[in-house]
């Protein structure tokens, strides 16, 4: 090819790009901006307005078309039907193909587990959102119906609460919005990518959202962070609470939120079980990343990782090498794998067909405006129906004056077409009233029936006045909204699935300044119940409420800023802040610590330590006669760890745990009926938490330490024979002269 010909082809190609030459070779003068505006802008606007960005009711058009089709198929509260049937019917409103419609149905279903409050009650294999490989079955194999919460989505939709528009071929009508009676836009996650913009809305707990909305209706200056604690994801997990980041999301509608997987350590199998993962990742992605880290040598503590997800839900098992600290390993995995990930928020919503990025408060205010308009239109609809009926009854009341005249007019009218005009002229009523009277059956043209209908007129007049007052008074409209939201909370409210954990971002002093500090008294019971009661409440309260078999084992005076350490029967300690527990009353059972701190199954709290500065020491008395003295500073951690394993030795069963800041005398008795008294000052304080201690009480085979008591009776010289300074000791047989002998003998 000659260079001249190449130059001509290159110029023609450039001209085509500039839009001045068509396929036939004819030169056309065309502005590139105009071309883009005519050809690309309609597509971009269609994607933004009709596909990717949700509206104030919480749905994209594809969601709304599917749910409305199921509603019209009478699948709300009835038996399920084949998914293929639903998909086929939905294509009358949504012409984008059966695959896209079915994928939309899968995401909205209960089986897929992607939504906090699923809209579709599904049966069959719908896959799982947390798995890349667990695919859903074909639509011919699965069944579905609308979930009960959809009663709230379609409440009074037939009462002109929302506008209806034509479908794509003008053969059917569909709602432009759904009159949802709760802020569904915040209850379920919604993501979409449009042209030049995107939307990513994280889910919140239904009860918290409704409570926040009620508070905003009552007070527009309400601080939403007081009632809307944090997002709540359907897969659970742990939300890392960072106040500044959360405030940014609540204020601007944009920001990032860290979500961690939730795990537990199985000591018997020496493995970590991952039970929840962040919503932005999958099981397969996590496993692949862990395997890659092991191959690279960055993680050496793991021997195997397995996906044991089954009928009981998600479960990833990480097998550990001997001696590995599971909490330290998890901190490393949080940093290196998607076990901790960031959910990016972008609250981009269509408000009146205009995309807007709104904070939580502004978004809820827009929803309140939308819902007030729905209630106003519903009230107008009911009012008009009542007025129409009232108008008919007013005409009926006029014929009461002369029923015989009405019968005579109808009988004497020669042609049917003259009945209505003659009734209008005879009773001075309009055509609508005359038509109503003419249609009344002859059997009802009696005074008793007409009087009965006229009594309805009196009630109708009152109802009309009531509805008119409601329309004029915005406070009454707001009260209707509040009542409906309260009903939703009662019917569909549920506990949070995602727990909230705090991570120290600044200095400890700054972190503690946010915690209100005031004196409290801690009560801990034998069965693991905990109460935190203020002095004022104690002074005005009666007896402590406990279970029949329960009793209070510890009463500790402290402050709301204290750290709480709960030692369990699994040689573990769970750490919490006193501020994490609500103020209680003597009339309440209190908080069950095992459930509050997510303890393992069959794990029970035994002993409570409340401290501010970690001074003092702990004494662990074991059945084998050994006693361990461990500094409390050993339990102070720089990171915000909630659980410490190997908190004390598990080599022998524990008889008693005791926290002291000063040395005391203790009385130990054995199953052989022997006793000794010794001072804890003879023991050396250790920093190793799981130290086995030193032998204090020499025991023969089969003998155990059965009881340990603090002993303060130093007045009696007769008790000196029980005191020993040379340890270990076999003790002395108990004498009947010993104080409280009846309680100590065996």
SS3 of 553, please? strand
Q: Quick: pLDDT tens for 561-596.
A: 899 999 999 999 999 888 888 888 888 888 899 888
Q: Are 54 and 62 in contact (CB under 8 A)?
A: no
pLDDT tens per residue, range 647-658: 999 889 999 999
Q: Are residues 579 and 693 in the same domain?
A: yes
CA distances from 35 to 25, 27, 29, 626 (A): 18, 15, 11, 88
pLDDT in tens, 229-240: 999 999 999 999
Could you give the angle at which helices 474-492 and 206-218 cross, rounded to 10 degrees? Answer: 160
Question: What integer pLDDT is reported at residue 544 of this predicted model?
Answer: 87
Q: Which helix (H) or strand (E) holds 355?
A: strand 354-357
Give the pLDDT score at 741: 47
pLDDT of residue 746: 40
Strand partners, 610: 564
* Structural Rg of the chain based on CA atoms: 37
What is the token pair recorded at 90? Answer: 């939905």
Q: In sequence order, which ranges of 616-668 are alpha helices (DSSP H)?
A: none
- Domain match, 634 and 689 both: yes
101 has a pLDDT exceeding 60: yes
Is 44 part of a structural domain of the chain?
no
Structure tokens at 197: 């913009």
Encoding tokens for residue 190?
A: 């919604």
- Give the pair of three-digit tokens for residue 235: 């897969």
Residue 648 a catalytic site member:
no
Total count of domains within the chain: 4
In a domain, 113, yes or no: yes
Same-domain pairing of 86 and 122: yes
pLDDT score recorded for residue 718: 58
Nearest 5 degrees, angle CA 334-CA 336-CA 338? 65
Other beta carbons less than 10 A from residue 688's beta carbon: 12
Give the pLDDT of residue 34.
83
CB contact at 8 A, 391 and 433 = yes
Q: pLDDT class for 13, splitting at 50, 70, 90?
A: low
307 assigned to some structural domain: yes
Q: pLDDT class for 682, splitting at 50, 70, 90?
A: confident
State the residue range of the domain holding 123. 59-179
Does pLDDT of 503 surpass 80? no
Tell me: do 551 and 692 sit in the same domain: yes
Cα–Cα distance for residue pair 452/463, rounded to 1 Å = 17
b (16+ CB within 10 A) / e for 468-491:
eebeeeeeebbebbbebbeebbee
CATH of the domain at 329: 3.30.1360.40
CATH number, domain containing residue 136? 3.90.199.10
Q: What pLDDT does residue 511 have?
A: 41
Q: Which of 21-25, 427-431, 587-591, 665-669 has the lowest mean pLDDT?
A: 21-25
My answer on whether 573 and 668 are in the same domain is yes
Above pLDDT 90, what percent of the chain?
54
Give me the chain's average pLDDT, please: 87
d(CA 538, CA 534): 6
Mean pLDDT of 487-502: 93
Cα separations (Å) of 740 from 217, 673, 715? Answer: 65, 14, 15
**pLDDT value at 130 more than 60:** yes
In our burial notation (b when 16+ CB lie closer than 10 A, e otherwise), range 210-235 reads bbbbbbbbeeeebebbebbbbbbbbb
CATH number at residue 705: 2.120.10.90
pLDDT confidence tier of residue 251, bands split at 50, 70 and 90 = very high
Per-residue buried b or exposed e for 694-723, using 16+ beta carbons within 10 Å of the residue's own CB: bebbebeeebbbebbbebeeeeeeebeebb
pLDDT tens column, 388-422:
999 988 888 887 778 888 888 888 888 888 888 98
Length of the chain equals: 746
Confidence of residue 506 (pLDDT cuts 50, 70, 90): very low
Q: Is residue 722 predicted with pLDDT exceeding 80?
A: no
Q: Is the pLDDT of residue 105 over 90?
A: yes
23, pLDDT greater than 80: no
| Predicted local confidence at residue 505, as pLDDT | 40
Q: What pLDDT is stored for residue 342 in this prediction? A: 92
First-to-last alpha carbon distance for the chain, in angstroms, is 113
Please, which pLDDT band fits residue 8 given cuts at 50, 70 and 90? Answer: low
Asked if the structure places residue 326 within a domain, the reply is yes
pLDDT score recorded for residue 513: 38
Q: How far is residue 657's CA from residue 647's CA, in Å, rounded to a whole number?
A: 12
Bridge partners (DSSP) of residue 354 are 351
pLDDT greater at residue 617 or residue 741 = 617
Percent of the chain scoring above 70 in pLDDT: 91
Token digits of residue 722: 């029980």
Active-site option among 141, 168, 444, 518: 141
pLDDT tens for each residue of 356-379: 999 999 999 999 999 999 999 999
pLDDT above 90 for 480: yes
Are 233 and 259 spatial neighbours (Cβ–Cβ below 8 Å)? yes
What's the CA gap between 151 and 254, in Å, rounded? 32
Q: Say yes or no to pLDDT of 227 above 60.
A: yes
99, pLDDT greater than 80:
yes
User: Higher pLDDT residue, 365 or 517?
Assistant: 365
Distance (Å, rounded) from C-alpha 353 to C-alpha 73? 29
9 and 86 fall within a common domain: no
Look at residue 72 and tell me whether its pLDDT is greater than 90: yes
Last residue of a domain, one of 128, 163, 179: 179
pLDDT band, very low/low/confident/very high, at 508 (cuts 50, 70, 90): very low
Q: Higher-confidence residue: 540 or 245?
A: 245
Residue 418, both tokens: 């003259």
pLDDT band of residue 473 (cuts 50, 70, 90) is very high
pLDDT band at 81 (very low <50, low <70, confident <90, very high): very high
Whether 125 and 10 map to the same domain: the answer is no
Query: In this structure, is residue 89 part of a structural domain?
Result: yes
Mean of the pLDDT values across residues 691-699?
A: 89
Do both 23 and 71 map to the same domain?
no
> Which is it for strands 271-276 and 302-307: parallel, antiparallel or unpaired?
unpaired
Neighbours of 568 (CB within 10 A): 22
Are both 286 and 138 inside the same structural domain? Answer: no
Looking at 14-28, 296-310, 500-514, 588-602, which range is the least confident one? 500-514
Q: Are residues 8 and 98 in the same domain?
A: no
For residues 716 and 590, state if they share a domain. yes
Cα–Cα dist 408/564, whole Å: 92
Strands of the sheet with 143-146, listed across from one edge: 81-82, 143-146, 120-123
Decide if 476 is inside a domain. no
598-620 mean pLDDT: 90
Same domain, 678 and 551: yes
Pick from 327, 94, 117: which is nearest to 208 by CA?
Answer: 117
Q: What is the mean pLDDT of residues 317-327?
A: 91
* Secondary structure in 3-state letters for 168-208: CCCCCEEECCCCCCCCHHHHCCEEEECCCCEEEECCCCHHH
Distance CA 142, CA 165 (A): 31
Establish whether the linkage from the previous residue to 728 is cis, with ω within 30° of 0. yes
Q: In the predicted model, is pLDDT for residue 630 greater than 80?
A: yes
d(CA 537, CA 583): 9
Local structure of residue 3 (DSSP, 8 states): H
Select from 182, 311, 334, 197 the least CA-distant residue to 261.
334
Question: Considering 338, 353, 370, which residue would you say is the last residue of a domain?
Answer: 338
Domain-embedded: residue 313: yes
Question: Residues 44-57: what's their mean pLDDT?
Answer: 91
Domain closes at, from 289, 323, 338: 338
* pLDDT, position 11: 58
- The pLDDT, as a whole number, for residue 21 is 53
Taking a C-beta distance cutoff of 8 angstroms, is the pair 96, 155 a contact? no
pLDDT on residue 395: 85
The answer to whether residue 681 sits within a structural domain is: yes
Burial of 662 (C-beta count, 10 Å sphere; 0-12/13-18/19+):
exposed
**Per-residue pLDDT at 738 exceeds 80:** no
């Amino acid at each position: 090819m000659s260079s001249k010909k190449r130059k001509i082809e290159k110029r023609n190609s450039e001209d085509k790009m500039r839009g001045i030459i068509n396929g036939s070779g004819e030169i056309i003068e065309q502005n590139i901006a105009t071309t883009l505006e005519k050809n690309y802008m309609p597509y971009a606007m269609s994607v933004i307005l009709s596909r990717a960005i949700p509206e104030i009711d919480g749905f994209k058009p594809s969601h709304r078309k599917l749910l409305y089709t199921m509603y019209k198929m009478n699948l709300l509260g009835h038996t399920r039907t084949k998914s293929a049937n639903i998909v086929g019917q939905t294509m009358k409103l949504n012409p984008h193909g059966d695959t896209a419609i079915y994928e939309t149905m899968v995401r909205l279903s209960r089986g897929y587990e992607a939504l906090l409050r699923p809209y579709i009650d599904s049966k069959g294999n719908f896959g799982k959102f947390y798995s890349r490989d667990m695919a859903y079955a074909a639509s011919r194999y699965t069944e579905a119906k609308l979930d009960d919460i959809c009663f709230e989505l379609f409440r009074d939709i037939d009462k002109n609460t929302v506008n209806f528009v034509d479908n794509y071929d003008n053969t059917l009508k569909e709602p432009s919005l759904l009159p949802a009676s709760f802020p569904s836009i915040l209850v379920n996650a919604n993501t979409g990518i449009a042209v030049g913009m995107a939307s990513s809305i994280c889910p919140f707990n239904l009860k918290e959202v409704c409570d926040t909305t009620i508070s905003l209706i009552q007070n527009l200056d309400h601080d939403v962070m007081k009632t809307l604690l944090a997002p709540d994801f359907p897969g659970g997990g742990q939300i890392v609470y960072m106040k500044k980041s959360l405030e940014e999301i609540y204020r601007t509608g944009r920001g990032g939120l860290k979500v961690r997987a939730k795990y537990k350590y199985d000591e018997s199998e020496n493995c970590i079980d991952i039970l929840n993962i962040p919503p932005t990742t999958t099981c397969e992605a996590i496993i692949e990343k862990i395997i890659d880290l092991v191959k690279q040598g960055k993680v050496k503590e793991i021997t195997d990782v397995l996906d044991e997800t089954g009928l009981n839900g998600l479960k990833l098992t990480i097998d550990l090498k001997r001696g590995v600290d599971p909490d330290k390993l998890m901190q490393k995995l949080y940093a290196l794998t998607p076990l901790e990930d960031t959910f990016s928020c972008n609250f981009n919503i269509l408000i009146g067909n205009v995309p807007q990025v709104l904070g939580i408060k502004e978004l809820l205010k827009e929803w309140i405006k939308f819902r007030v308009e729905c209630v106003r239109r519903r009230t107008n609809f009911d009012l008009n129906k009542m007025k129409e009926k009232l108008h008919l009854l007013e005409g009926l009341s006029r014929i009461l004056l002369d029923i015989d005249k009405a019968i005579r007019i109808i009988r004497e009218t020669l042609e049917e077409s003259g009945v209505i005009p003659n009734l209008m002229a005879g009773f001075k009523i309009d055509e609508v009233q005359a038509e109503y009277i003419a249609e009344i059956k002859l059997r009802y043209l009696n005074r008793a029936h007409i009087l009965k209908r006229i009594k309805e007129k009196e009630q109708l007049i009152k109802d009309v006045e009531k509805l008119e007052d409601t329309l004029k008074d915005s406070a009454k409209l707001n009260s209707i909204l509040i009542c409906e939201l309260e009903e939703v909370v009662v019917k569909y409210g549920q506990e949070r699935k995602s727990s909230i954990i705090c991570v120290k971002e600044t200095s400890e002093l700054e972190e503690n300044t946010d915690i209100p500090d005031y004196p409290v008294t801690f009560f801990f019971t034998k069965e693991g119940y905990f109460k935190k009661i203020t002095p004022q409440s104690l002074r005005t309260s009666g007896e402590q409420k406990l279970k029949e078999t329960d009793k209070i084992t510890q009463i500790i005076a402290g402050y709301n800023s204290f750290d709480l350490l709960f030692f369990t029967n699994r040689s573990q300690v769970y750490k919490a802040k006193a501020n994490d527990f609500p103020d209680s009353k003597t009339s309440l059972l209190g908080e069950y610590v095992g459930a509050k701190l997510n303890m393992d199954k069959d794990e029970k709290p035994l002993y409570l330590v409340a401290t501010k500065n970690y001074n003092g020491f702990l004494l662990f008395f074991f059945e084998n006669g050994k006693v361990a003295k461990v500094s409390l500073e050993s339990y102070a951690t720089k990171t915000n760890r909630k659980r410490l394993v190997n908190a004390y030795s598990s080599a022998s069963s524990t008889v008693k745990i005791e926290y002291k800041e000063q040395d005391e005398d203790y009385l130990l008795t054995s199953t052989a009926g022997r006793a000794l008294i010794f001072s804890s000052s003879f023991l050396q304080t250790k920093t190793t938490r799981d130290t086995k201690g030193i032998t204090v009480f020499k025991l023969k085979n089969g003998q155990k330490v059965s009881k340990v008591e603090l002993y303060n009776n130093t007045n009696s010289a007769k008790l000196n024979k029980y005191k020993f300074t040379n340890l270990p000791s076999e003790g002395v047989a108990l004498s009947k002269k010993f104080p409280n002998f009846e309680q100590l003998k065996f």
